[in-house]
Structure 1
Amino acid sequence: MRRLIATGCVVIAMLAAIVTLPLAWVASNIADEDGYVAFTSPMGSDPELQKAFAEYLTDYFVREQGLPSAVQPTAAKVLAGAAANTANAPGFTKAWEQSQRSSHRLMFGPKANQDRLAVDLGPLADFVVDHAASGLPVALPKPGKIVLQVNNESQREAIDQIQATNHRSQVGWIVVAAAAALSLLFAKRRSTGLAWLGAGALGVAALLKAATSYGVPNILDKTPSPSGFARTLQKLLADRAADSLSQWLVWLTIAGIAAIVAGVLLRVSSGKS
């Protein structure tokens, strides 16, 4: 009976961890503003994203801002060059992070008014305009805000769920810890219980790795996007999320292996005494 209860507690701990670990990742990297800025910061140096941004910004000013047709070719060339070259200019990283912070507030802030994933390109556009001003035959106004929808479908419910991840992950970790403690309490041998918990951690890491590797790309392929830049950003966000979560899974794997080794050593030492 004790073995059955201990085994059941290990299973409960595994199931709770499968749900809780992704929730905790979302709470840390998406729901939290500073976490989101830190999570998206490395993406600003991606050449593919920089190219897509340059093309989008050029089209925005040339077509949507109504520049005179006589200066459109020159403006397009100067803007494209400026947008492509600003990635290495001092202040670009700060402008990118300001863009991500503003984007997060559009979706999750107190005055959020977006029902889907969106990005505010205004800080980046202002930065490019400052660098391109000297090469243009006409003055360009700073847009202040350029809100680009990253997907076409409303995700208000999903955004609300993301905002609740911090509380839910805290509850989840309590369940994981309680189930793990009970499994050790009811195990006939603490060493065996510890080893089983370690094996459970490895199982959780493997399942989540498989879900991340195969599930996310399939979801991404079925998610429509309104522009080339939005599609590029969507893909980079998915890749960045997969890499970041994989780092968490590496630490979970290390913890699982450590628990198994500790269980084996405990069993060996107890057998010798």
Structure 2
Amino acid sequence: MTGFAVPAAWTERNIVREDGFVQLTDRLGKDPAFQARLAGIAVSNLEARLDLPAPAEKLGASLLKDAAQHMSSWPEYPQAWNETVRRSHRLNFAETAVPSADDSARSAHPASGDAATETSLVLDLGPFVRLLGDKLRAATGAQLAVPDTAVVGIGGPSQRQVVDRLAAYTPLWWPAGLGAVMTLALAVLAARRRSVVLVCTGLGLAVLAGVWQASAVLFSGLASAGLGESAMGALFARELIAASVAGFAPWVAATALTGGALFFAGVLGLILRRRRNAAVRAAG
């Protein structure tokens, strides 16, 4: 039960919950390769819909070229990335996502790309496209019709099914966690040698921590496969998995330390028990 409860609790908190996912993916928005690809896709998306008047064409082209190279240095970039992550999370997790504390601060834009987003994983780059549109309006004075959404696929139906299963099953971590705690408590209360129970529990937790760590290393090695066939999906997968492994590491360490503490408490109890028995035999 512990083997399921701890990873599920971490996943529910950091992947399924919107606020946790935003915090987890913060490092993705700072990755230079990912920034460059985001900027390039946002610029291409706007260029395909752009119809500037002749006097503003040259200025607009220059701004878009600069955006493709330096948009990540703009002061508005972090907020655009944050909104992109929130929008994308809501699209990918649909109605299963847990509401965040920032609901009141979100813009009230409906999700789009309904048919595609129901069967695949996507990023909604609409905030970046809107940011580019605002810059163009300010620079050229032209009235531009900028799309509110710009959905980019990062994974197919099989990856979407994995996300749906995570959203469905990870909230069950708390019954498993409660069951693990109650089982340990009953075992300690019913055991003739409680110290042995503590020793075995400590060893079990240490083994679990080792299995989780090995699984994390193995999972990291599979990251190059990506979430889909696109380069964007592969890059997103690699960075997300790296962030997840780094984020789960403290939980692994805490489990190992808890196991070590229980093990040494059990060993200490066995030592004290033997000394008591020796003293009783000597007195008899």
In the superposition, the TM-score normalised over structure 2's length comes to: 0.76
Task: Name the CA shift for 1:252/1:84 in 2 (closer, same or farther; >3 Å).
Answer: farther
Q: Which residue of 1 aligns with 2:280?
A: none
Identity rate of aligned residues, in percent? 25
Aligned residue in 2 for 1:47:
32
1:133 CA displacement: 5.0
User: Counterpart of 2:263 in structure 1: which amino acid?
Assistant: I
Is the aligned partner of 1:236 residue 2:239? yes
User: Partner of 1:267 in structure 2?
Assistant: 270
2:186 alignment partner in structure 1: 182
Say if 1:81 and 1:271 are closer, same or farther in 2 by CA, change over 3 A. farther
1:43, 1:236 within 8 Å by CA — same for their partners in 2? yes
For the residues of structure 2 that align with 1:217 and 1:149, how far apart are their CA atoms?
A: 23
Unaligned runs of 5+ in 2: 96-109, 277-284
Report Cα offsets for 1:59-107 as digits up to 9, x if no partner.
3233x32668x99897565324225434343332222111111111112
Partner of 2:251: 248
> Shift of residue 51 of structure 1?
1.4
**For residue 247 of structure 2, what is the amino acid of its counterpart?**
S
What do the CA deviations read for 1:106-144 (whole angstroms, capped 9, x no partner)? 122338742222111111232244345556697654321
Which whole-Å CA distance do the structure 1 matches of 2:227 and 2:71 have between them?
30
Larger Rg: 2
- The alpha carbon displacement at 1:30 in A equals 1.6
| Higher relative contact order, structure no. (Cα contacts within 8 Å, ≥ 6 residues apart) | 1
The one-letter code matched in structure 1 to 2:151 is: V
| Unaligned runs of at least 5 residues, structure 1 | 1-15
Q: Distance in 2 between matches of 1:67 and 1:207?
A: 57
2:46·2:146 contact (CA, 8 Å) conserved in 1? no
The yes-or-no answer on 1:29 pairing with 2:14 is yes
Whether 1:198 and 2:182 are equivalent positions in the alignment is: no
- Asked whether the 8 Å contact 1:24–1:165 carries over to 2, the reply is no
Instruction: Write out aligned runs for 1:1-80 (5 A).
Output: 16-62=1-47, 64-65=48-49, 78-80=63-65
Tell me what 1:215 maps to. 219
SS in 2 for 1:97: helix
**Could you say what secondary structure the match of 1:150 adopts?**
strand
Aligned residues: 255
**1:25, 1:116 → 2: CA distance?**
24
The alignment status of 1:116 with 2:120, answered yes or no, reads yes
Contact 1:116–1:151 (CA<8 Å) still a contact in 2?
Answer: yes
Q: CA deviation at 1:38?
A: 1.9
Report if aligned partners of 1:148, 1:230 keep a CA contact under 8 Å in 2: no
Change (3 A) 1:248 1:125: farther
Distance in 1 between residues matched to 2:163 and 2:177, nearest whole Å:
22
Secondary structure at 2:157 match in 1: coil
Shift of 1:155: 4.2
Once the two structures are TM-superposed, the CA of residue 249 in structure 1 deviates from its matched residue by 0.8
